[in-house]
C-alpha cells in the first residue's frame, strides 16, 4: 500500500516524504527495502540528494537493527546522478560500494557504464572504461555498452563506427548485440544500405540474428517504404523460430504511420491483436501523432483504455502539445485535470509544455498562473519561458502604471473642465444680464404713478 501511494504522489516529493515519515512512525509498521528504494528514487529524481543519503544512513540500522542497504540502493543513486549529468558524484557513489563492504566486480562496473550511457554521458563512460582497463579488462560487453550509448542514446553513426573499428583494432569480437546496436542506429538514420550490408555480413560470419536484429532490419525496410519486403522478413523470422514481439510490430507501425499509410498500419495493428500481443503505449503514440481532430483523439484514448493500456505522462504531454497547436484549450485543460484525477502526476516537462502552449497562443494570464504553480512545486522553469514571462510581467506592471496615470490625469482633466464650465456659465449669465434692457413696472395709486421696487 505504501509503495502504491508513493507511486501516485511521486511527482510531489514533499507530499511523498511527509507520508513516508508518517507511515514510519506507526508502531505496527516498518519500511521494507522496496519502500525505501521508492522513496529514495523520488527524492533523488527531485535532486534532494542529501535527504536521500539520510534515508540510506537510516537503512544501515546502526548497531541494533539489520542493514537494509544493497548494491541496488547505491545503483539508484548512481542512476539519478547520471540523469542530472553529475558524473563525479556518480563515480564517487560507485567507489562507496567498498564503504558498504560490497564486492566491486566487472558486473558492478558495467552497471555504472550503463547508467552513464543511458543518460547520454557516453563520452565520460568511454573515458572511464579505457582509464580502468587494467582493473576491469576490456571485453565485448564493455564495448557493447559504449557502442549502444553512441548508437541509441546519442544516435551518432560516426562515433558508433569509431567504436566498431576500435573493437576490431583491439581484437575484441563483435557479437549479435554489437550488430543489433549499430544496425538499430543505421535503421533510425534511414540508412537501409548499411543495415542490409551488416545483415549479410552477419550471415557470412555465421552469427545468428536475434529478434533485435530482425526488428532493426524490418524497421529500416518499412521506413524506406518497402513494406512487402518487411512483412516477408517477418515471416522468415517466424520460420526461423523467432516469434515477433510488440517491438517488431511497432517497427512496422511507426514508419507506416509516419508515411500516412494509416490503413496498412491498422492492418498490422489488427494482426498483432490476433496473435494475442498487447499494444504498448508506443504503438498508440504512433497513431496519436497522425490524428487530425479532438474526436479521433478521445476515441483512441477510450479504445486504448479498453484494451488495458493506460496513458502515461508522455501521452498527455504529446496530446496537450497537439491541442495547443490546434488552439483547443478546453481540451487542453480537460486533459490536464484528467492527469491530476488519474494520479499520473504533473511533472516539470508537462508544466513546460502547457505554459509554452498557453504563452504562444496569447493566453498570458493562464500561462503565468501555471508558471507560478510550477515554481511553488519547486520545478525548475525552462530558461527561455522564464525570461519571456518575466519580461511580460515587467511590461504588464509598467502598462498598469501608465493606465493608472492616464486615469488620474483624466479625473483631473474632468474636474478642471467642470470648473471651467461653471465659471464660463456664470460669466455668460453676467454677460447676458448686462445685455438685457431695463424693465420696471409702474403702479398708479391715489392719482400718482410709482415704479415698483
Cβ–Cβ < 8 Å for 450, 442: yes
- Given this model, what pLDDT does residue 67 score? 87
Element (H, E) at 393: helix 383-435
According to the model, what pLDDT value does residue 366 have?
93
Q: Count Cβ atoms below 10 Å from residue 326 Cβ, excluding itself.
A: 14
Conformational region of residue 91, where left means phi above 0, alpha means psi within -120 to 50, and beta covers everything else: alpha
What φ, ψ does residue 190 adopt, rounded to 5°?
60, 35
Q: What is the pLDDT of residue 70?
A: 95
CATH topology of domain 174-280: 1.25.40
Output the DSSP codes for 279-333: P-HHHHHHHHTT--SHHHHHHHHHHHHHTT----HHHHHHHHHHHHHTT-HHHHH
Closest by CA position to 240, among listed 217, 209, 218:
209
Cell of 37: 528504494
Predicted local distance difference test score (pLDDT) of residue 386: 83
Measured distance between the N- and C-terminal CA atoms of the chain, rounded to whole angstroms: 106
pLDDT at 158: 96
Cα(291)–Cα(302) distance, integer angstroms:
14
Find out whether 183 and 195 touch, Cβ atoms under 8 Å: yes
pTM, 2 dp: 0.79
pLDDT by position in tens, the chain (length 453): 888 888 888 888 999 999 999 998 888 888 899 999 999 999 999 999 999 999 999 998 765 668 899 999 999 999 999 999 999 999 999 999 999 999 999 999 999 999 999 999 999 999 999 999 999 999 999 999 999 999 999 999 999 999 999 999 999 999 999 999 999 999 999 999 999 999 999 999 999 999 999 999 999 999 999 999 999 999 999 999 999 999 999 999 999 999 899 999 999 999 999 999 999 999 999 999 999 999 999 999 999 999 999 999 999 999 999 999 999 999 999 999 999 888 887 888 999 999 999 998 989 899 999 999 998 888 888 888 888 888 888 887 776 776 676 677 666 666 666 666 666 666 565 555 555 555 556 556 555 555 555
* Angle formed by the axes of helices 383-435 and 364-376, nearest 10°: 130
**Domain positions in the chain:** 174-280, 396-430
Q: Are 257 and 267 in contact (CB under 8 A)?
A: no
Distance between CA 174 and CA 139 in Å, rounded?
A: 10
According to DSSP, the β-strands at 448-451 and 442-445 are antiparallel
Angle, CA of 436, 437 and 438, to the nearest 5°: 120
- The grid cell for 70 is 544493497
By C-alpha distance, which of 190, 184, 173 is closest to 210?
Answer: 184
pLDDT of residue 389: 84
Amino acid at each position: 500500500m505504501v509503495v502504491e501511494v508513493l507511486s501516485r504522489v511521486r511527482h510531489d516529493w514533499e507530499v511523498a516524504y511527509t507520508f513516508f515519515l508518517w507511515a514510519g512512525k506507526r508502531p505496527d509498521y516498518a519500511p521494507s527495502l522496496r519502500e525505501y528504494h521508492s522513496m529514495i528514487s523520488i527524492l533523488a529524481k527531485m535532486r534532494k540528494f542529501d535527504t536521500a543519503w539520510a534515508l540510506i544512513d537510516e537503512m544501515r540500522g546502526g548497531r541494533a537493527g539489520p542493514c537494509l542497504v544493497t548494491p541496488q540502493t547505491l545503483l539508484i543513486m548512481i542512476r539519478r546522478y547520471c540523469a542530472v549529468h553529475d558524473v563525479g558524484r556518480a563515480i564517487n557513489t560507485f567507489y562507496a560500494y567498498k564503504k558498504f563492504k560490497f564486492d566491486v566486480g566487472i558486473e558492478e562496473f558495467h552497471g555504472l557504464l550503463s547508467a552513464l550511457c543511458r543518460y547520454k554521458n557516453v563520452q565520460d563512460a568511454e573515458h572511464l572504461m579505457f582509464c580502468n582497463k587494467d582493473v576491469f579488462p576490456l571485453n565485448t560487453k564493455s564495448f557493447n555498452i559504449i557502442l549502444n550509448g553512441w548508437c541509441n542514446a546519442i544516435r551518432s553513426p560516426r562515433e558508433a563506427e569509431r567504436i566498431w573499428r576500435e573493437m576490431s583494432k583491439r581484437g575484441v569480437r563483435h557479437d549479435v548485440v554489437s550488430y543489433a546496436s549499430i544496425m538499430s542506429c543505421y535503421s533510425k538514420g534511414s540508412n537501409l544500405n548499411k543495415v542490409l550490408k551488416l545483415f549479410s555480413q552477419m550471415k557470412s560470419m555465421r552469427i545468428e540474428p536475434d529478434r533485435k536484429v530482425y526488428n532493426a532490419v524490418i524497421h529500416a525496410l518499412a521506413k524506406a517504404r518497402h513494406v512487402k519486403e518487411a512483412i516477408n522478413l517477418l515471416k522468415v523470422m517466424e520460420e526461423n523460430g523467432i516469434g515477433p514481439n510488440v517491438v517488431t510490430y511497432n517497427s512496422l507501425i511507426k514508419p507506416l504511420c509516419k508515411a500516412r499509410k494509416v490503413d496498412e498500419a491498422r492492418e498490422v495493428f489488427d494482426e498483432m491483436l490476433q496473435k494475442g500481443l498487447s499494444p504498448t503505449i508506443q504503438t498508440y503514440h504512433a497513431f496519436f501523432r497522425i490524428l487530425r481532430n479532438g474526436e479521433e483523439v478521445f476515441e483512441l484514448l477510450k479504445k486504448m483504455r479498453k484494451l488495458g493500456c493506460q496513458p502515461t505522462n508522455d501521452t498527455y504531454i504529446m496530446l496537450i502539445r497537439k491541442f495547443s497547436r490546434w488552439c483547443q484549450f478546453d481540451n487542453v485543460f480537460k486533459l490536464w485535470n484528467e492527469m491530476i484525477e488519474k494520479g499520473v502526476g504533473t511533472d516539470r516537462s508537462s508544466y513546460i509544455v502547457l505554459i509554452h502552449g498557453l504563452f504562444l497562443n496569447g493566453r498570458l494570464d493562464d500561462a503565468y498562473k501555471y508558471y507560478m504553480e510550477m515554481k511553488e512545486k519547486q520545478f525548475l522553469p525552462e530558461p527561455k519561458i522564464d525570461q519571456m514571462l518575466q519580461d511580460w510581467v515587467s511590461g504588464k506592471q509598467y502598462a498598469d502604471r501608465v493606465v493608472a496615470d492616464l486615469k488620474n490625469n483624466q479625473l483631473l482633466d474632468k474636474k478642471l473642465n467642470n470648473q471651467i464650465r461653471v465659471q464660463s456659465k456664470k460669466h455668460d449669465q453676467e454677460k447676458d444680464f448686462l445685455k438685457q434692457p431695463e424693465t420696471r413696472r409702474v403702479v398708479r395709486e391715489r392719482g400718482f404713478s410709482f415704479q415698483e421696487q
